[in-house]
Amino acid sequence: MFKAVLCCSLFFLVTICRAQTNTLSVSEKPSSFSLFTSSSVAKICVDEHDAKVVSIAANAFANDVQLISGKQMQVLHKIPAKGFVVVAGTIGQSKLIDELIKLNKLNVSAIKNKWERFSIQTVGNKLLIIGSDPRGTAYGIFHVSKLLGVSPWVWWADAIPATKKQLFISGSYVSNEPSVKYRGIFLNDEDWGLQPWAAKTLEPETKDIGPRTYAKIFELLLRLRANLIWPAMHPSTKAFFHYPGNAQMATDYAIVIGSSHAEPMLRNNVDEWKENTMGEFNFITNHDTIYQYWEDRVIQSKGFNAFYTLGIRGVHDSKMLGANTLQEQKEVMDKAVKEQREMLTKHINPAIEKVPQAFIPYKEVQDIYDYGFEVPQDVTLVWCDDNYGYIKHFPNEKERKQKGGNGVYYHISYWGRPHDYLWLASTHPAQLYTQMRMAYDKGAKDMWVLNVGDIKPGEYLTELFLDMGWSMDSIANNQKGLEQHLHNFLVREFGKANAKELVSLMNEYYRLAYIRKPEFMGATRTEESDPKYKIVADLPWSEEEINQRLKEYAVLDAKAVQLSKRISSAKQESWFQLIEYPVRGAAAINQKLLIAQLARHGKATWTLSDAAYDTIVSLTNKYSNLGNGKWKYMMDMKPRKLAVFDKAIQQTVDKPLVQTAKPLFVFNGTGYKTYTGVKPLAHGLGYQRGAISLQKGSSVSFVFTGNIDSLKIVLALAPNHPAEGTKIRYSIQVDDGPVQTIDYATQGRSEEWKQNVLSNQAIRTTRHTVGKSANHVVKITAVDEGVIVDQVKLYE
């Protein structure tokens, strides 16, 4: 019966050709497929036996269409005989699609048996969305939503799309496979936003981050073409598996469940390990209890789509117990991983290579790995940044041959030393891009996870990261490519009219925060033994430098206020979340603390500092009241109640402000005169957005004029870690003088590393003898990979 109806209703379909072109377009001008008009709206049809995520995406699409058209789109399970209809389904799981393939009405050879691919085709009165797998189908549905003008942040940032009277769709589209196989986020440090908001605002019935909250998060991930979650795991939150609906929700949304570097075998040790009844989390002295603890979760997780983290650390983010030397730690790691894989073989799949597994050399685990721990070949190696956006290790030649592949765990939010940055998301997009681009080029293509903290206000950086993971080459590897991505985001959210000024505004926001993040402006530190770091103090900046930064932030703040008046009323709440709050909040905390620094020396009035504090309070109260309280408890202006967030304490300091020597010349990286080798790349990084990436062996020359005998050159570089081996070096030469080779690699959490990540610069000083000839050349060569030159300062 089903076959007869289907054949009758689709008899007139023409065969979709193999040579499809990606020309799918949406227009208000009439064309082949009418999505809606003033008097009608198409229907969407999915097979009720297809994966549940397909129905979920179809219903979300129907809601998207209603937002734009004002008309309710019906979701059906049988194709109607008349009218325009969107047909969405998965090869092998949707009878609607499989029957078309069987009747030779549909060619899916380009996507069949591929990972997360989809094809979209308009044929007669049908818009066909076909997925190679259920996620591929969902991505295809949301791809159309995006073409309609619906932001992935439609719910999460109240990004209401513009209404239209009519919309038509024409052409076709075939996606590529994603650049990175597993792409996802880690919900972390959720104590000051996501958890209290979920518990008190969104999901009071659970009083926690539960199934309703995860449903919203998982829909966001699908809209951003992600597929992996590391769930929230702080003490404020119950373990993911505590609420049965969480894992079921992940299954319904086709999201892969993983766990962080500190949570082997999907266990949340912070919540689930009870020391008073289970004993110490010590694999040497308490082996059987820990083994059973892991095995119970493996058994419970059978049937779910899971990615198992292997290894052992302590409870939460701490070292393993009971093993002191690296040899002892390696022996414990060997035993733990061997037994974990035995559990997976026994309970999940005898073919262990088919079970997704990750080993994450985070902090001290990197030392155990470097000491000689051998990771099984089918396991994915997930490399980590230093928590401040600089990747500590890139896959080497041996690691690139790992059958399980390589990945990256990266931060745009962090709690820890030298200082937290949990309030505003201000990591420079070019820093994120250059680090992940190098990791990708070196083979980290199998798993990318972004620590997003509370999700908000890291919306743009999250989208950039996941867009790169979906299609690395869709963003050109230069400043223009990054600015185009930001431009596209801002056009989608706030229209073309203000896009150019908005790009300029956000570039300046990220530039100023690159010099020093808003959370770092009090010269305080976290988790330091010396109590002086708990007290707000002076930054080592001169009065001139302070006033210049205050001026720049005043201009930025005024521009944000000015632009807000141009934003439509429908977009005001989205504007406030995505742009105004972070930009004006960053300006206000800088004003509060820098004016206080001047006031301590009698060079400003305290009232201006207090007024800036009051601005932050007012902005945060407004955030909490958006959407009739939709985001209440999401934005905490004082995460961890650190001193840097308080109203500045009025006091007097007798010690004068620092005086800084003025250089003879200052060159940004892009100020080079000539280059040899490969032309340097600029991405908009740096103190003046003029940093350049030098390929290994390439050189740049800076030219200056002066009659001097000797020269001090201070070179500021992005504080990258070695791309290979243990060194990251440049060489420097003035005129025909001797070549000096300088290594600027840092060790562990040294004081130099702390200074580097707080300032986003690694500083090296060299001295040179110079002839009195009027014209001079400073030549800088990248001896190793990863050298990024920010500024060159010349002193007599």
pLDDT in tens, 61-77: 999 999 999 999 999 99
Mean pLDDT of 129-147: 98
Q: In the listed set 475, 494, 512, which residue is the last one of a domain according to the structure?
A: 475
Q: Is residue 446 part of a domain?
A: yes
Rounded mean pLDDT, 296-315: 96
pLDDT at 8: 37
pLDDT at residue 20 greater than cutoff 50:
no
Q: Is 676 in the same domain as 586? A: no
- Whether 468 and 597 map to the same domain: the answer is no
Q: Count up the domains in the chain and report the number.
A: 4
Q: Is 653 inside any structural domain?
A: no
Residue 349 confidence (pLDDT) above 90: yes
Calpha distance 477→489 (Å, rounded):
18
Both 163 and 193 in a single domain? no
485 domain residue, yes or no: no
| Separation of alpha carbons 503 and 481, rounded Å | 13
Do both 620 and 693 map to the same domain? no
Can you tell me the mean pLDDT for 575-603?
98
| Claim to verify: residue 383 and residue 416 sit in the same structural domain | yes
In a domain, 497, yes or no: no
Residues 94-111, mean pLDDT to the nearest whole number: 91
CA–CA distance, 442 with 765 (Å, rounded to integer): 31
Residue 412 belongs to a domain: yes
pLDDT at site 772: 79
Claim to verify: residue 304 and residue 372 sit in the same structural domain: yes
**Whether residue 374 has pLDDT greater than 50:** yes
pLDDT beyond 90 at 45: yes
Q: Please tell me whether residues 707 and 592 are part of one structural domain.
A: no
User: In terms of domains, do 224 and 253 share one?
Assistant: yes
The reply to whether 322 and 464 lie within a common domain is: yes
Q: Give the strand pairing for 729-734 and 740-743.
A: antiparallel
Q: Which of 16-30, 38-52, 413-427, 505-519 has the lowest mean pLDDT?
A: 16-30
The per-residue pLDDT for range 430-455, each reduced to its tens digit, is 999 999 999 999 999 999 999 999 99
Q: Does 484 reside within a domain?
A: no
pLDDT tens-digit map of 148-205: 999 999 999 999 999 999 999 999 999 999 999 999 999 999 999 999 999 999 999 9
Query: What is the β-pairing status of strands 75-76 and 85-90?
Result: unpaired
Tell me the average pLDDT across 204-219. Answer: 98
- Boundaries of domain holding 377: 182-475
Model confidence at 21, pLDDT cuts 50, 70, 90, reads low
- pLDDT > 90? residue 9: no
Provide mean pLDDT across the span 652-658: 94
* Residues 533 and 433 occupy one common structural domain: no
Query: Both 161 and 197 in a single domain?
Result: no
Whether residue 650 is contained in a domain is answered as: no
- The pTM of this model reads 0.96
CATH number where 712 lies: 2.60.120.1620
CATH of the domain at 438: 3.20.20.520
Q: Which CATH number goes with the domain that contains 603? A: 1.20.58.2150
Q: Are residues 365 and 433 in the same domain?
A: yes
What pLDDT band is residue 14 in, cutting at 50, 70 and 90? very low
- Domain boundary among the residues 174, 206, 227 is at 174
- Domain end: 475, 495, 525, which one? 475
**What is the average pLDDT value for the chain, to the nearest integer?**
95
683 is a domain residue: yes
What does the buried/exposed string (b/e) look like for 183-197 if buried means 16 or more CB atoms within 10 Å of the residue's CB? bbbbbbbbbbbbbbb
Query: Contact, 179 vs 116, CB < 8 A?
Result: no
Predicted confidence at residue 318, as pLDDT, reads 84
Q: Phi and psi at residue 266, in whole multiples of 5°?
A: 65, 20
Q: How far apart are the C-alpha atoms of 725 and 728, rounded to whole Å?
A: 8
The CATH number given to whatever domain includes residue 51 is 3.30.379.10
